[in-house]
Amino acid sequence: MEVGILNSQHLGEKCVICQKNKLKGIHLYTSYICTDCETDLIKTETDDPKYRFYVQQLKKATTPEIYS
């Protein structure tokens, strides 16, 4: 799935894991995960130090944003 250009200063969507704007990725609940992070996440073993980082970042995906 590709996300189109929204305006000249914003390309793609902000990834909940790497915090960078990317064009390709998936939506998980209310969050967006870029293809690069998705691929790395799938390949990361649970005993790898990066695993804890991914778990912390993915916790953001379960917390819906509240708009007033």
The two beta strands, 31-34 and 13-14, are unpaired
**Percentage of residues of the chain with pLDDT beyond 70:** 75
State yes or no: pLDDT of 14 exceeds 80. Answer: yes
- Going by their DSSP bridges, the two strands 21-22 and 13-14 should be labelled as antiparallel
- pTM for the predicted model, two decimal places: 0.70
**Predicted local distance difference test score (pLDDT) of residue 61:** 77
pLDDT in tens, 42-65: 999 999 999 999 999 988 876 666
First to last CA, the chain: 30
